[in-house]
Amino acid sequence: MKRYHVTTFGCQMNEHDSERMKGMLESLGYEQTAEQADADVILFNTCSIRETADSRFVAHLGHAKRVKREKPSTIIGVGGCWAQSLKDEVFTQFPFVDVAFGPGQVHKLTEFLTSDSLTAQGYFEFEGFAGDLPDKRTREHQGWVQISVGCNCNCSYCIVPQTRGREASRPFAGVVAECERLAGEGVREVTLLGQNVNAYGRDLRPDRATFAQLLHAVDAVEGIERIRYTSPHPKDMKEDVILAHAELASVCEHIHLPLQSGSSRILKAMRRTYDQVRYLDRVALIREHVPDCALTTDIIVGFPGETEEDFQMTLDVCEEVGYDSAFTFVFSPRRGTEAALITEGIVPHEVKVERMQRLVEVVQRRAHERAQRFVGRSVEVLVEGTSRTDPSRLRGRTRHNKTVNFAGCGVPGELVMVDVERATSQTLAGAESLLARAGR
Ligand code: 5AD
Ligand code: SF4
């Protein structure tokens, strides 16, 4: 039997695309191997969001090249955003690559592997939503469901519109049918995926739909106990979506709302189309309807032109909102983006590093403070497996998306109640609530 090995970089969309690559390979009769050296097909699903993402991947590619030198029949494939951003240049820079494809062309892998072609092939078209593909889920009880491809935003720092093309929503009925299929296979939690999920449905013809309507329809699917989504854009965060968190039993009390900067001036330069006031107004509306909602975010430090005052505004927003956690990034110029062409106000590396340290300090302190609200509470946890640090304990996730390590006897996929005893900025610790268990 032929074997494959897939290495994934980047976001959840890429994780999911990799599951689909694996699903396709298995339907062609391949089986997964843990070692690149044993594989007949070595695939990389790449990311290009920051320079570090690029360079990490290139080091991995060197290893695959050595494998191929030993065993020349090995097929090396490179998919994802980095491949899309270089297109055919991939083959000139890395002549040992056999097949390269963008994120919208995952399905072309079958075509390549079943053809007799001995020449290198590249697939980089944008086709909109490419239809259902088989997938091989990494987690039995949690599933990703892609609801749109591409992105119509114009964020000046971001390479994604170039690598994933124009936005196209997946038909409503197809999304719901996939959720039903997943529920039938034992999935209890779905994460709806898109570059800008709350813009969903505006392009659907003849029946336009909204993201809130989609949440209602997925909530109605029997067996799906939890719905998450990523990522929404603050500009499209409408009240109907926020209300869905309050009204629909399965929509989790967690919203990832990317801030990027707390300075309205920098937000304008980033072309985010909201300012600080509008962002905080969205947060206030969330807190009004879902008072206990966990909020997480993405922040970029050191965007060109960011002054100490601008940065201070980012710190102020973090203090005020009190995020449950935040992903913080140093600005990285990406080829082909508007921000990469800015020559004025470049923030020196030392200043970026110093600001990042101050930002992380505020984010962690606030996250630690916020997490204390769970201590003494009994929270619903979806069991995922054993604790990574202590195999005698279990690990799971709360509706607020907090990881919990706890003593208990739940099995993966089960929803249990856990009494929270301690909380750090990142994780909760506790014990399964035996009373609640007996009562169910
Ligand atoms: N530099 C640094 N961070 C970036 N992000 C996107 N593009 C860049 C860039 N050029 C961050 C944003 C986005 C997250 C996925 O990555 O914060 O929300
Ligand atoms: Fe995901 Fe963006 Fe990286 Fe592409 S570039 S894999 S969309 S994070």
Whether pLDDT at 292 is above 70: yes
Whether pLDDT at 191 is above 50: yes
Return the best residue to mutate from 81, 101, 124, 148 for the ligand 2 pocket (most ligand atoms within 8 A of CB): 81
Q: Is 267 exposed, middle or buried (0-12, 13-18, 19+ CB in 10 A)?
A: buried
Per-residue pLDDT tens for 296-344? 999 999 999 999 999 999 999 999 999 999 999 999 999 999 999 999 9
* Atom number of ligand 1 nearest to Cα 332: 1
Residues near 3 by Cβ (< 8 Å), separated by ≥ 6? 30, 31, 32, 33, 38, 39, 40, 41
Q: Which domains does the chain have, with CATH numbers?
A: 3-123 (3.40.50.12160), 139-252 (3.30.750.210), 375-438 (2.40.50.140)
Q: Reduced to 3 states, what is the DSSP secondary structure of residue 397?
A: strand
Amino acid at 136: K
The answer to whether the peptide bond before residue 72 is cis (omega within 30 degrees of 0) is: no
CA distance 83 to 143: 26
Q: What are phi and psi of 55, to 5 degrees?
A: -70, -35
Whether pLDDT at 439 is above 50: no
Helix (H) or strand (E) holding 254: strand 254-256
* Atom 12 of ligand 1: nearest residue by CA position: 298
Taking the CA of 331 as reference, the closest ligand is: 1
Return the best residue to mutate from 14, 153, 337 for the ligand 2 pocket (most ligand atoms within 8 A of CB): 14
Q: What are phi and psi of 122, to 5 degrees?
A: -125, 140
Average pLDDT, the chain: 95
CA distance 214 to 207: 13
Q: Is residue 415 very low, low, confident or very high in pLDDT (cuts 50, 70, 90)?
A: very high
Per-residue pLDDT tens for 214-243? 999 999 999 999 999 999 999 999 999 999
Share of the chain above pLDDT 90, in %: 92
Pairing of β 325-330 and β 294-301: parallel
Share of the chain above pLDDT 70, in %: 99
Whether pLDDT at 438 is above 50: no
Residues near 165 by Cβ (< 8 Å), separated by ≥ 6? 104, 126, 149, 150
Residue 436 has a pLDDT of 63
Residue 275 has a pLDDT of 98
Residue 440 has a pLDDT of 45
Å from CA of 22 to ligand 1 middle = 27
Average pLDDT of the residues in 143-166? 96
For residue 440, give both structure tokens: 């169910």
* Atom number of ligand 1 nearest to Cα 327: 17
Taking the CA of 195 as reference, the closest ligand is: 2
329 lines ligand 1 (CB under 6 A): yes
Worst-scoring range by mean pLDDT, 50-64, 206-220, 324-338? 50-64
> Measuring from each residue's beta carbon to the nearest atom of ligand 2, which residues come in under 6 Å?
10-11, 13-14, 47-49, 80-81, 159-160, 163-164
Taking the CA of 340 as reference, the closest ligand is: 1
Residue 117 has a pLDDT of 75
Per-residue pLDDT tens for 99-152? 999 999 999 999 999 998 778 999 999 988 877 888 899 999 999 999 999 999
Please state, in angstroms and as integers, the Cα–Cα distance from residue 434 to each residue in 128, 418, 421, 430, 439, following that order: 49, 9, 14, 12, 8
Residue 369 has a pLDDT of 98
Taking the CA of 332 as reference, the closest ligand is: 1
Q: Reduced to 3 states, what is the DSSP secondary structure of residue 118?
A: coil
Average pLDDT of the residues in 349-376? 98
Residue 153 has a pLDDT of 96
Q: Is residue 365 very low, low, confident or very high in pLDDT (cuts 50, 70, 90)?
A: very high
